């Protein structure tokens, strides 16, 4: 590793846009399969699941991988492998999407039969989270993610669960909407977002990934506090000014956007222009096992392709904690450590 890579690893970082299911590598998938399958899949069979040609294909591949997550043991192992990978990159805090909507959609009969299925899965995830805190010194918050192109009723169930479960599990901090924005924007979710906010949940949203700036305005209009991707804001100077004025935290995912084909190359990604415009930019990996780049890689790529200096990378790391849902005192503690990281 060259000196800048070593320094990036030492730099305390928070990852704010990361899907648990998207961290499952082919080798972890083989391990998962061996937990419950009579004939476990091979590594090459697992690897084949990760090929896709476009954004729609990516969402299908994502769903195929989630299918291997059969129950609590699988979720616990997936979360533990994710935490190990994060800790190895110097990520000290992560806010992770859990595709709760997909769990119910994939297992309708089991869901009918076992009203405690999700509670058992979540207990297993909490075991992994607490182990990560204890053994790796990394903190983890959960974001319950609904799939926007399923039904509003399905999202309502996901957000209701988040509101109920956070009373006993303060690690559940926020809700989000993933899925295919080309099929539906944010307006149908306005009332659900208001109810979630009233229940004390923070609000994130994927916006402007496959769609234009109007989708980003729509996401803001329903109260989204933090926005994922925000790729198309570059086409709307007035929107850029609004994002700057309000210092809306942006969860950017450059490699993801190139790999799903929504951005032609890293050079075309607007991260540099957003940063120079004074937006609150953070760097994230989204689904690293599908896109071949971790968040640590994203910092290195920002340096190599967009000329981010050490001090600018330090600002990106500081932004990741500023934009997190951590308590203020925790944020200040991390900002202090980032300032003195040499
Ligand atoms: N779910 C997982 N990754 C996603 C992405 N990049 N966009 C929308 N939904 C997703
Ligand atoms: Zn995402």
Say which ligand is closest to the CA of 263: 1
**Does the Cβ of 58 fall within 6 Å of ligand 1?**
no
Span from the CA of 336 to the centroid of ligand 1 (angstroms): 32
Span from the CA of 251 to the centroid of ligand 2 (angstroms): 9
- Average pLDDT of span 97-104: 95
All residues at 6 or more sequence positions from 17 whose CB lies less than 8 Å from its CB, including other chains: 97, 228, 251, 252, 253, 282, 284, 285, 286
Span from the CA of 142 to the centroid of ligand 1 (angstroms): 16
Is 337 buried (19+), middle (13-18) or exposed (0-12) by CB count in 10 A?
middle
**Does the Cβ of 181 fall within 6 Å of ligand 1?**
no
Closest approach atom of ligand 1 to CA 180: 8
- Average pLDDT of span 69-93: 97
pLDDT tier at 319, thresholds 50, 70, 90: very high
Residue ranges of the domains in the chain?
Answer: 3-337
Q: Please identify which residue in the block is written with the tokens 């039904």.
A: 151
Percent of the chain with pLDDT over 70: 100
Percent of the chain with pLDDT over 90: 96
Pairing of strands 226-229, 250-252: parallel
**Does the Cβ of 62 fall within 6 Å of ligand 1?**
yes
**Does the Cβ of 22 fall within 6 Å of ligand 1?**
yes
Say which ligand is closest to the CA of 101: 1
pLDDT tier at 36, thresholds 50, 70, 90: confident
From the list 15, 95, 126, 209, the catalytic residue is 209
pLDDT the model gives residue 340: 96
**Does the Cβ of 286 fall within 6 Å of ligand 1?**
yes
The mean of the pLDDT values for the chain is 97
Give strand ranges (E) for 24-171. Answer: 91-99, 139-147
pLDDT, tens digit, 9 for 90 and up, residues 140-151: 999 999 999 999
pLDDT the model gives residue 38: 86
pLDDT, tens digit, 9 for 90 and up, residues 167-206: 999 999 999 999 999 999 999 999 999 999 999 999 999 9
Tell me: pLDDT of 37 over 90. Answer: no
pTM: 0.98
As a CATH number, domain 3-337 is 3.20.20.140
pLDDT tier at 63, thresholds 50, 70, 90: very high
- Average pLDDT of span 275-297: 98
Q: Please identify which residue in the block is written with the tokens 């916006």.
A: 207
Tell me: pLDDT of 292 over 90. Answer: yes
Tell me: pLDDT of 266 over 90. Answer: yes
Answer yes or no: 181 catalytic: no
Span from the CA of 135 to the centroid of ligand 1 (angstroms): 30
Hey, what are 196's tokens? Answer: 């979630």
């Amino acid at each position: 590793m060259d000196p800048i890579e070593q320094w990036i690893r030492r730099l305390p970082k928070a990852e704010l846009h990361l899907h648990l299911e998207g961290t499952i590598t082919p080798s972890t998938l083989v391990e998962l399969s061996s937990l419950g399958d009579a004939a476990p899949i091979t590594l090459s069979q697992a690897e084949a699941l990760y090929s896709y040609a476009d954004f729609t294909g990516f969402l299908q591949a994502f769903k195929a991988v989630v299918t291997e997550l059969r129950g609590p043991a699988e979720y616990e192992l997936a979360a533990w492998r994710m935490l190990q990978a994060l800790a190895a990159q110097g990520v000290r805090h992560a806010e992770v999407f859990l595709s709760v909507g997909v769990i119910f959609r994939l297992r309708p009969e089991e869901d009918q039969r076992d009203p405690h299925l999700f509670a058992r899965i979540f207990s297993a995830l909490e075991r992994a989270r607490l182990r990560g805190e204890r053994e790796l010194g990394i903190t983890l918050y959960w974001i319950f993610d609904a799939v926007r192109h399923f039904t509003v009723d399905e999202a309502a169930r996901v957000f209701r669960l988040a509101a109920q479960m956070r009373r006993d599990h303060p690690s559940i901090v926020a809700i989000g909407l993933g899925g295919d924005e080309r099929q539906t924007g944010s307006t149908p979710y306005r009332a659900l977002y208001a109810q979630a906010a009233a229940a004390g949940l923070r609000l994130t949203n994927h916006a402007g990934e496959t769609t234009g700036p109007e989708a980003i305005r729509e996401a803001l209009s329903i109260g989204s506090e933090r926005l994922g991707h925000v790729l198309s804001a570059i086409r709307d100077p007035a929107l850029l000014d609004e994002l700057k004025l309000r210092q809306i935290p942006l969860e950017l995912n450059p490699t993801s956007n190139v790999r799903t084909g929504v951005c032609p190359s890293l050079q075309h990604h607007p991260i540099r222009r957003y940063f120079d415009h004074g937006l609150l930019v953070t760097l994230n990996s989204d689904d690293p096992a599908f896109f071949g780049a971790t968040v640590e890689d994203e910092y290195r790529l920002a340096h190599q392709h967009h000329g981010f200096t050490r001090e600018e990378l330090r600002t990106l790391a500081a932004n990741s904690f500023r934009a997190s849902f951590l308590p203020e005192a925790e944020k200040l503690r991390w900002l202090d450590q980032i300032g003195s990281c040499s």
